[in-house]
Amino acid sequence: MNEPTTYPCCQQSQYLNVLGLRQVAAGSDLFISVWNLHRSPAIWERPNEFLPDRFPVDGPTPTEVTHNFAYLPFGGGRRKCIGAC
């Protein structure tokens, strides 16, 4: 299995924010663990199982926009992989 991947946040935190139950100091760099995001039971039903019907062929192409940033195989926003649609 591949190593977990992290993507840097698009920008540094400019203010003291509350992220869930955690405080993030201004100027902090934020990283997202895509491996954990894609396997989160809080987001996905049966996240560790291969479910081809999770993304129906006749449905929208799975992207960060169609899945509210819960699915980021190629990153998201302005810094996503140049070959991603």
pLDDT computed for residue 10 by the predictor: 46
pLDDT computed for residue 19 by the predictor: 56
Cα(75)–Cα(38) distance, integer angstroms: 12
* Cβ-contact 43, 37 below 8 angstroms: yes
Cα(40)–Cα(22) distance, integer angstroms: 18
pTM above 0.75, yes or no: no
Cα(22)–Cα(54) distance, integer angstroms: 31
Q: What is the pLDDT of residues 15-59, one digit of tens each?
A: 555 556 677 777 777 777 888 888 999 989 999 999 988 888 888
